[in-house]
Amino acid sequence: MVVDIEGVPLHLAHPDELPGEWVGQEEVMRQLLAAWLVIDPQDMPMNPRLIGKPGVGKTTLAYAAAKRLGRDIYIMQATVDTRPEDLIVTPVIEGASRLRYVASPLVTAMVRGGIAILDEGNRMSEKSWASLAPLLDTRRYVESIVAGIKIKAHPMFRMVATMNDDASTFDLPEYIHSRLQPQIFIDFPERDEEYQILKENLPFADDQVLQYVTEFLQQAHASDERYTVRDGINIGRFAMKLKSCASDEIQERQALYLAVAETLGEEALRYVPRVPA
């Protein structure tokens, strides 16, 4: 799709589709949806950030919230190499002496009134965040230096940033920190919720596998380990694969034990009962 902005043809991105459903933790879902509400003609939507350990489901939550609103979703993956032009408009050479201007997923959401998920936003540098400052306050626009245009956000545009709570990220500059509010913290799910998440993502696994992996994760959470439900899904998936391709009859618990060790390392075995070889 191409739109014309100030006489410049702008090629838009396609919306994203993700598998899986958000299970449990309805309170954080309520908080996110509330932040996006506009309750008065003089009110504005907020730009929340979802904070939690890697793998707790921040992106899944943001996607599920957007789906509840029936909106198109555009995911922008942030990295330490993300440049301001990556966030806004990128020039692409098209034929002899011609440039095509390509909108980022974030800008596409702005133009089309969709919802943008800026994933792992605290991996970006301050220079990149500075290019988004006018979008995150009452101005609600971005400027593309390379295309020479100002792009205003559609009234229905909403944004959320996900941020990992770990040591591999940057601190946000204060002027961005105050623009990305509220902060919504996502913790590890309760046991029943974790079991349901595993069941949703591993529909081909039997109950013994789901219970085993749930128990492993709950013991790890109790010790404040970093292992998340994403790790649990990988453990369950690998265990089922090991069992299905074994030349001899491998016991399910042996497959699970091996899957934990091979997926997370031997240090993770302290949270599962040892299974004899």
Tokens 């990149």, residue located: 128
Q: How far is residue 156's CA from residue 132's CA, in Å, rounded to a whole number?
A: 18
Structural domain of 195? 191-263
167, 185, 203 — which closes off a domain?
185
Mean pLDDT of 220-227: 90
Residue of 35, 114, 102 lying closest to 74 (CA atoms): 114
3-state secondary structure of 222: helix
The residues pairing with 101 across neighbouring beta strands, listed in sequence order, are: 10, 91
Residue 135 domain flag = yes
Q: Which of 185, 207, 236 corresponds to the end of one domain?
A: 185
pLDDT exceeds 50 at position 276: no
Residue 14's pLDDT is 96
Q: Do you find a cis peptide bond into 105, omega within 30 degrees of 0?
A: no
Count of other CB atoms within 10 angstroms of residue 42: 6
Q: How many CB atoms lie within 10 A of CB 179?
A: 19
Q: Assess if residue 270 is contained within a domain.
A: no
75 and 22 in a common domain: yes
Same domain, 57 and 157: yes
Mark whether 122 and 10 lie in a shared domain: yes
Query: Does the residue 206 lie in any domain?
Result: yes
Do 236 and 258 form a contact (C-beta atoms < 8 A)? Answer: no
CATH number, domain of 18, equals: 3.40.50.300
> Cα(117)–Cα(160) distance, rounded to whole angstroms?
5
Domain check: are 166 and 137 in the same one? Answer: yes
- Please report the pLDDT score of residue 22 as a whole number: 82
Contact call for residues 101 and 146 (beta carbons, < 8 A)? yes
User: Is 269 a member of any domain?
Assistant: no
Helix axes 191-201, 207-222, angle to 10 degrees: 130
Question: Would you say residue 271 lies in a domain?
Answer: no
CA 46 to chain centre: 18
* Residue 275 is assigned to a structural domain of this protein: no
CA–CA separation, 57 vs 28, rounded Å?
Answer: 11
Number of domains in the chain: 2
75 lies in the same domain as 201? no
Q: Do 164 and 248 share a structural domain?
A: no
Co-location of 93 and 214 in the same domain = no
pTM beyond cutoff 0.75: yes
Q: Based on the fold, state whether residues 166 and 210 are members of the same structural domain.
A: no
Tell me the average pLDDT across 214-232: 91
What was the pLDDT predicted at 272? 84
What is the pLDDT at residue 277? 44
Asked if 152 contacts 40 with a C-beta cutoff of 8 angstroms, the reply is no
Distance between alpha carbon 204 and the CA centroid of its chain, in Å? 25
Looking at every residue in the chain, the average pLDDT score rounds to 90
- Residue where one domain finishes, among candidates 125, 153, 185: 185
The HSE-up count of residue 161 (CA atoms within 13 Å, CB side) is: 25
**Are 214 and 149 found together in one domain?**
no
Region of 254 please: left (phi>0), alpha (psi -120 to 50) or beta.
Answer: alpha
Whether residue 256 is predicted with pLDDT greater than 70 in this model: the reply is yes
- Judge contact between 111 and 10, C-beta under 8 A: yes
Task: Judge if 150 and 205 occupy the same domain.
Answer: no
Residue pLDDT, tens place only, 36-66 = 999 999 999 999 999 998 888 899 999 999 9
Judgement on whether residues 117 and 44 belong to the same structural domain of the protein: yes
**Cα separation of 193 and 21, whole Å?**
12
Question: Is residue 9 included in any domain, yes or no?
Answer: yes
In a domain, 248, yes or no: yes
**Do both 209 and 155 map to the same domain?**
no
